[in-house]
């Protein structure tokens, strides 16, 4: 028995579960819209919402539709959007030069959002896979994913996004040394206020499949990403990588995927106390949404329960495709 508890019947923990008011007063972990970063897929076109079959309820948005949905997110109190582009096939090359084109899809979206909704934080993805004909996050030569050459490309990509007005840079590439190079370049170029949310512990996971459908990378990946993304069996390594990224200038760190790696979230938060985030990735979303659509799970309930578990594990926020739906449910108080 816990030493601070009186013996039964003086101690009856059910007393504090008896009513909704009492449960609310004693709730240890609270979820709000402030906790969400909403990942959004964007595409060329006009007045287009292109549904993603493997992510029911999620679509690739043309920029005019992005603006409509961004207003909805802001009105619900969601503080940030993260952009992921669907790049046309003819723009995907081995050199990945479209990644740092000032007029690429992502950079145009950043400028549009910041002009229309200046208080909404815009986060970007920094990795080459949307622009790489090989489907990898880095440059490829003779089947090898190059580290240092990739960093040079990622720095150019970072500066182009900062110039467009990005608030948060999200390096998801997992190349060694990229945080220090990005931070140094941002400082030198006068973008010292741009934050870096590092994908510090990104695992080589099977949960990314629907995302690759969404960005058009499925079927294009040559080989796998195990030489640069983390082994799912490793935990201590995640702490070393987080320590490195913080020492190189990351402002925030992320664990990806989310729910299968809650132990990593807790270890990171306990060890470093830094702003810690989890990405509830496409496969996690698809499983919950698919089961709910089949009537096998109570969709709204498991949605909020799954998001609350990240906060309970120590996360300060969550990247989730449920952001709009969850914020609406929280505002309504219906759940």
SS3 content of the chain, % helix, strand, coil (to 5): 45, 20, 40
Please report the DSSP string for 125-184 in residue order: EE-STTTBTT--SS-EETTEE-SHHHHHHHHHHHHHHHHHT-SEEEE-S--TTHHHHHHH
User: Are 278 and 260 contacting, i.e. CB atoms less than 8 angstroms apart?
Assistant: no
Q: Is-catalytic flag, 156?
A: no
Please report the DSSP string for 63-113 in residue order: HHHHHHHHHHHHHTT--EEEEEE---GGG-BSS-GGGG-TTSHHHHHHHHH
User: Are 260 and 205 contacting, i.e. CB atoms less than 8 angstroms apart?
Assistant: yes
Residue 4 has what DSSP assignment? T
d(CA 81, CA 69): 10
DSSP 3-state assignment of 256? strand
CA-to-CA dists, residue 213 to 53, 55, 60, 286, 318, angstroms? 8, 9, 11, 12, 22
Instruction: Using DSSP bridges, classify how beta strands 276-280 and 317-320 pair: parallel, antiparallel or unpaired.
Output: parallel
315's CB contacts (< 8 A; 6+ apart) are 255, 265, 269, 276, 277, 278
Q: Active-site residue among 225, 256, 269, 311?
A: 256
Q: Is-catalytic flag, 256?
A: yes
Q: Active-site residue among 202, 225, 269, 311?
A: 202
Catalytic residues: 202, 256
């Amino acid at each position: 028995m816990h030493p601070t508890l009186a013996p039964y019947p003086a101690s009856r923990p059910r007393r504090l579960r008896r009513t909704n008011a009492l449960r609310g007063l004693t709730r240890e972990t609270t979820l709000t819209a402030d906790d969400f970063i909403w990942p959004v897929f964007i595409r060329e076109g006009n007045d287009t919402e292109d549904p993603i079959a493997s992510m029911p309820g999620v679509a690739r948005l043309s920029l005019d539709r992005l603006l409509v949905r961004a207003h909805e997110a802001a009105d619900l109190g969601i503080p940030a959007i993260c952009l992921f582009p669907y790049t046309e096939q003819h723009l995907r090359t081995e050199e990945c030069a479209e990644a740092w084109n000032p007029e690429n899809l992502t950079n145009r979206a950043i400028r549009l959002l910041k002009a229309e909704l200046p208080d909404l934080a815009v986060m970007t993805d920094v990795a080459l896979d949307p622009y790489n004909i090989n489907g990898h996050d880095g440059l490829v030569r003779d089947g090898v994913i190059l580290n240092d050459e990739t960093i040079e490309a990622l720095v150019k990509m970072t500066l182009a996004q900062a110039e467009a007005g990005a608030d948060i840079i999200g390096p998801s590439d997992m190349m060694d040394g990229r945080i220090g190079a990005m931070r140094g370049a941002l400082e030198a170029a006068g973008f010292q206020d741009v934050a870096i949310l590092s994908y510090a512990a990104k695992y080589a996971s099977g949960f990314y499949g629907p995302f690759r459908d969404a960005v058009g990378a499925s079927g294009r990946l040559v080989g796998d990403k195990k030489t640069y993304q983390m082994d799912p069996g490793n935990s201590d390594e995640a702490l070393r990588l987080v320590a490195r990224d913080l020492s190189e200038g990351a402002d925030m760190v992320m664990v990806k995927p989310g729910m299968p790696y809650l132990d990593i979230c807790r270890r990171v938060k306990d060890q470093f106390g830094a702003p810690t985030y989890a990405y509830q990735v496409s496969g996690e979303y698809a499983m919950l949404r698919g089961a709910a659509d089949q009537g096998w799970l109570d969709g709204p309930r498991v949605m909020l329960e799954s998001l609350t578990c990240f906060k309970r594990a120590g996360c300060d926020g969550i990247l989730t495709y449920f952001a709009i739906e969850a914020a609406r449910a929280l505002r309504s108080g219906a759940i």
